[in-house]
Amino acid sequence: MSANVLFDAPGPKARRRNRIYAAVGTLAVAGLIVYIVLRLNTTGQFAGYMWNLFEYTGIQQRIENGIVSTLEAFALAGVCSLVLATVLAAGRLSDHAPVRWAATAIVEFFRALPLLILIFVLYASVFSPFWALVTGLTLYNGSVQAEVFRAGINAVPRGQAEAAYALGMRKTQVMLTVLVPQAIRSMLPTIISQLVVTLKDTSLGYIITYEELLYAGRLVAANTVTPGGYPYVPVVIVIGAVYIAMCLALSALANWIERRGRRSRKGTPPVPDVLESVVAQSE
Amino acid sequence: MDVLTHNFGLFRHGFLGTLALTGVSAAVSLVFGVLIAAFRVSPVPPLRWFGTAWVTLLRNTPLTLLFMIAVFVVPQILFPGISYFALAVGALGCYTSAFVCEAVRSGINTVPLGQAEAARSLGMTFGQTLRIVVLPQAVRTVVPPVGSLMIALTKNSAIAGAFSVAELFAQQKRLSELGYNILAIFVWVAVAYLIITFAISGLFRLLENRMAVTR
């Protein structure tokens, strides 16, 4: 791909040079890793007593509860933000100017605001940590997703809507039967990527003392005393791995959907002209 | 209004803190991002792997966790006694650099194939092709996405306030703990952020217009 565009298939001289670069690069990267590992070792992070804590069922339970709370907040916020996004996108595409303005104002306001500040204000005014987190995530991600939806609907070729209107459909029908199904297909990868962001942002709950994964980890690390100090390194490694695994699983879903979408569009076997319209419909 | 006039010093301190944090982290993320993007398209496999690992790890880790690592782990292991500001710049810069890298890489992909081929047929090396022919063209497509990344960076800088760096969110927290009306503080903090983000989007629109060419 892009890598092959920028340089030729290397000849003997270039191959030798690339081998030297590769060696130097490997040494540099390996050196960095070795240095960090050595520092971890000299500060005693690999000692058994630093990792013992994961053997206690109480601590396992606490981390498990953290994962469950994270997923709870994510699931509720994800669903609510998609619902809100649908409403806001419909508002932004409305034929009535005041509705359009109101939706635009809401979207622009919540997109421009740092999510943490929004969550903190909700928390400090009336909400419990859980609802502050969910409401904040819903308002912010709902606004972002609304723009994604709108972009998706606007990206459907103009002729599609024109044809539907020409058939005498009303706006709602045009939207629901013609534009939205096509838009969702092209926007699904982006929507899921934004859901990954939502998942990552649940960790902001840590700051308003919602007991999600990061909070649980911090609590575990700060309450365990070992001869080598607080076990932040082991806890961060474990929790980081859990977060990365959750996000990668969602991203993998987005990639899979994108690949599937591409395949069905490009990979249709060549068909005679007569059949083409039938195939196009069935897609 | 009272909250602002009575505590103008605090607000100014927070505003300047956010500006400084955003500015320095933006510089760090742009340098790292372009460097890692160059790694990812380079002919040297170990560097490509390093770039891929960097981007995958950082893009899938919550920023709050990075801040936790920066504040609780890094001083203990790598740099004892380093300031919170530097740690926050490290966390924000590294996190954003992964996104900048992906933006630059997709920008490189939009440069027509013939450009790189022509450069190669003139006998340019990989470094020359990238520096003289491809990157200058890629920059134009990359300006708008990097602009929104910088706005996201500004908003993300609020998290630093929760980890003892003096900026707008930290001042908001402080004032609300002092018993001021939380909504009044909120309005002024929101206005401050809007000023910064509008300035950034204006700056990037200017850049975009200056660099616009027909291709």
Distance CA A82, CA A215 (A): 26
Distance CA A110, CA A85 (A): 12
- At A264, the pLDDT band (50, 70, 90 cuts) reads low
- At A44, the pLDDT band (50, 70, 90 cuts) reads confident
Closest-approach residue (CA) in chain B for A140: B155
- Residue B211 gets which letter from DSSP? H
In contact, A215 and A70? CB cutoff 8 Å: no
Average pLDDT for chain A: 84
Distance CA B13, CA B17 (A): 6
**A273 pLDDT more than 70:** no
Distance CA A74, CA A249 (A): 14
Nearest to A86 by CA among A127, A147, A162: A147
Q: Which residues have CB under 8 Å from A33's CB, separation 6+?
A: none
Highest average pLDDT, of A118-122, B39-43, B110-114, comes from A118-122
**CATH code assigned to A53-259:** 1.10.3720.10
Average pLDDT for chain B: 87
Residue B191 in contact with partner chain A when CB distance is under 8 A: no
Q: Give the range among A21-25, A64-68, A79-83 with minimum mean pLDDT.
A: A21-25
Percent of chain B with pLDDT over 90: 27
Does the predicted interface ipTM exceed a cut of 0.95?
no
Give per-residue pLDDT as tens, B140-194.
888 888 988 999 999 899 888 888 788 888 888 888 888 788 888 888 888 888 8
Chain pair A-B, CB pairs under 8 angstroms: 149
DSSP for B32-101 reads: HHHHHHHHHHSS-HHHHHHHHHHHHHHHTS-HHHHHHIIIIIHHHHT-TT--HHHHHHHHHHHHHHHHHH
For tokens 């939502």, name the residue.
Answer: A198
Q: Quick count: other Cβ atoms within 10 Å of Cβ B210?
A: 9
User: Best mutation site among B21, B73, B156 for testing chain A: the one with the most A CBs within 10 Å?
Assistant: B73
Distance CA A33, CA A20 (A): 20
Contact B189 A117 (CB under 8 A): yes
Contact B120 A8 (CB under 8 A): yes
User: Quick one: average pLDDT of A259-267?
Assistant: 64
Q: Give the range among A3-17, A27-41, B28-42 with minimum mean pLDDT.
A: A3-17
Q: Quick count: other Cβ atoms within 10 Å of Cβ A59?
A: 19
How many angstroms from the chain centroid is the CA of residue B90?
10
Contact B159 A214 (CB under 8 A): no
Which phi-psi region, left, alpha or beta, contains residue B167 (left: φ > 0; alpha: ψ -120 to 50)? Answer: beta
Distance CA A177, CA A1 (A): 38
- Specify the pTM: 0.84
User: Quick one: average pLDDT of B43-56?
Assistant: 89
Which run of H or E residues covers position B115? helix B113-121
**A8 pLDDT more than 70:** no
For tokens 């916020």, name the residue.
Answer: A77
Contact B60 A1 (CB under 8 A): no
Q: Quick count: other Cβ atoms within 10 Å of Cβ A42?
A: 10
HSE, side-chain direction, 13 A CA sphere, residue A126: 2
- At A241, the pLDDT band (50, 70, 90 cuts) reads very high
> Is A267 or A228 the better-scoring residue by pLDDT?
A228
In contact, A142 and A81? CB cutoff 8 Å: yes
3-state secondary structure chain A: CHHHHHCCCCCHHHHHHHHHHHHHHHHHHHHHHHHHHHHHHHCCCCCHHHHHHHHCHHHHHHHHHHHHHHHHHHHHHHHHHHHHHHHHHHHHCCCCHHHHHHHHHHHHHHHHCCHHHHHHHHHHHCCCHHHHHHHHHHHHHHHHHHHHHHHHHHHCCHHHHHHHHHCCCCHHHHHHHHHHHHHHHHHHHHHHHHHHHHHHHHHHHHCCCCCCHHHHHHHHHHHCCECCECCHHHHHHHHHHHHHHHHHHHHHHHHHHHHHHHHHHHCCCCCCHHHHHHHHHHC
C-alpha distance from B179 to closest chain A C-alpha (Å): 11
Closest-approach residue (CA) in chain B for A195: B60
C-alpha distance from A200 to closest chain B C-alpha (Å): 5
Contact B169 A206 (CB under 8 A): no
